[in-house]
Structures are given as C-alpha cells and as structure tokens.
C-alpha cells in the first residue's frame, strides 16, 4: 500500500482514500471502522464527496459496490 504497510495484514480494515486525507484518517460506516492506508488514481474528492476503495475481498464489507453513497463519520489522526 502507499503507506508502506503490507496489505495482507489490513484486509477488512484498510481503505484507499483521497490524497487530501492524511494516512491513518479513519471513517466509520455502518458500525465498521476503516483506516486510510492507501491511495489510487481514481480515489478523489468529487464535489466534496470522497471516493474510497475498501480492502474488503472476502469480508462482510465486500458488498460495498462501486458508486454507492454512505453516511460516514470522519476521524482525523
């Protein structure tokens, strides 16, 4: 991941987030807490709405489909 941490240890916990967010920024969505540990070319702020990518394959959160909008709580590091 862009943070330098091994992705294998953060499955179900890490997200790729916009570059405007510091690494270790956390968000809470549907009682799950995710931590900003990666970046990506399509991971941007679009009209104030962040696009994020969940490292979630094989977890209960894998159903977060592309383009879905969620209410979330942002926790800055």
Give the pLDDT band (50/70/90) at residue 23: very high
Per-residue pLDDT at 63 = 64
pLDDT for residue 53 is more than 80: yes
Per-residue pLDDT at 57 = 75
Average pLDDT over the chain reads: 88
Residue 68's closest CA among 19, 38, 29, 33? 29
Q: What is the mean pLDDT of residues 8-24?
A: 93
Q: Read off the pTM.
A: 0.85
Give residue limits of the domains in the chain: 7-75
Residue 11's closest CA among 51, 39, 53? 53
């Amino acid at each position: 991941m862009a943070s330098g941490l091994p992705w294998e240890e953060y499955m179900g916990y890490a997200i790729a987030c916009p570059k405007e967010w510091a690494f270790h920024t956390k968000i809470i969505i549907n009682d799950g807490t995710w931590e900003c540990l990666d970046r990506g070319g399509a991971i941007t702020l679009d009209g104030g709405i962040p696009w994020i990518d969940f490292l979630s394959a094989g977890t209960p959160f894998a159903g977060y489909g592309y383009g879905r909008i969620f209410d979330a709580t942002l926790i800055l590091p």
